[in-house]
Amino acid sequence: MTEPPFVPAQGRDGVTGFVSIVGSGPGDPELLTLKAVARLRLADAVLYDDLSAGAILDHARPAAELVAVGKRAGRPSPKQAHVSRLLIDYAATGARVVRLKSGDPTVFGRLEEEISALTAAGVRFEVIPGVTSATAAAAAAAMPLTRRLTARRVQFITGHDTAGGLPSDLNLAALADPLAVTVVFMPKRHFPELADMLAAHGLPGDTPALLAENVSHTDQVLVRDTVAGLARRLGGARLETPALVLYGPLAEENND
């Protein structure tokens, strides 16, 4: 949207509210952007993901309504249609609404569904980017996602589809490319299966890999291993914490 946010203006069908879809980053409140903080300070209502809770919500206006709408694997979660309906209903009252999403809204964040619903309802909106957990994990491990000559491409994939299984349409040839860094979001349940498929497409089992859990939180855990090693570690792992797996030509740990 090109119009200034939070200015009294009328959208289609008389809707005067405004929705800011805001990336909150991976969880550390110091990784919020200045624009994200500004929107939280003005919001009448904040609809937030589980990973956007805690100290991040301290930036919200004291009078703002705080509504938890997060989705977590294996737990009861609001349906996306319900979340979109809430955004529209709040905007219909003229409210300044923040839809607070973990990481960056454009990366596996169900952004398209919410934009489609808002557009159909004539609600004005904006999208504010955030720090994605992939770049936060690389920063925490003090390594680049790209490397001159050996890692000229980065690819992001999700480790499960809408039904909870490993996506059936993965481009395994691309994912087994030894010159690409691959980031697997939500990998824990199916990474062993994915590792077997990658091996069958030629990716060496000793390809460097990083497991990053609770990125940017005080209980962050970084485990350097290989693709085969992480597959063994994650076999039967409980799905208690958010995690990423990065693999490919990763930089070696700096012990200086």
Residues in a beta bridge with 226: 208
Query: How many helices (H) and strands (E) in the chain?
Result: 7, 10
Domain range 12-131, its CATH number among 3.40.50.1370, 3.40.50.2020, 3.40.1010.10, 3.40.309.10: 3.40.1010.10
Q: Pick the catalytic residue from 35, 50, 71, 89.
A: 71
Q: Note down pLDDT in tens along the chain; length 256 residues.
A: 444 455 545 556 666 899 999 999 999 999 999 999 999 999 999 999 998 989 999 999 999 999 999 865 555 578 999 999 999 999 999 999 999 999 999 999 899 999 999 999 999 999 999 999 999 999 999 999 998 888 889 999 999 887 788 998 999 999 999 999 999 999 988 999 999 999 999 999 999 999 999 999 999 999 999 999 999 999 876 667 899 999 999 987 654 4
CATH architecture under which domain 134-247 falls: 2-Layer Sandwich (3.30)
Spatial distance between the Cα atoms of 8 and 13, rounded to a whole number of angstroms: 15
Choose the catalytic residue: 44, 101, 104, 186. 186
Q: Where are the domains of the chain?
A: 12-131, 134-247
Q: Is 101 known to be catalytic?
A: no
Q: Which amino acid is at 64?
A: A
pTM of the model: 0.88
Known catalytic residue at 49: yes
Instruction: Clarify whether 58 is annotated catalytic.
Output: no
Q: Catalytic one among 28, 49, 104, 225?
A: 49
In this structure, are residues 70 and 51 in contact, taking their beta carbons and an 8 Å threshold? Answer: yes
Residue 20, Cβ density class (10 Å: 0-12 exposed, 13-18 middle, ≥19 buried): buried
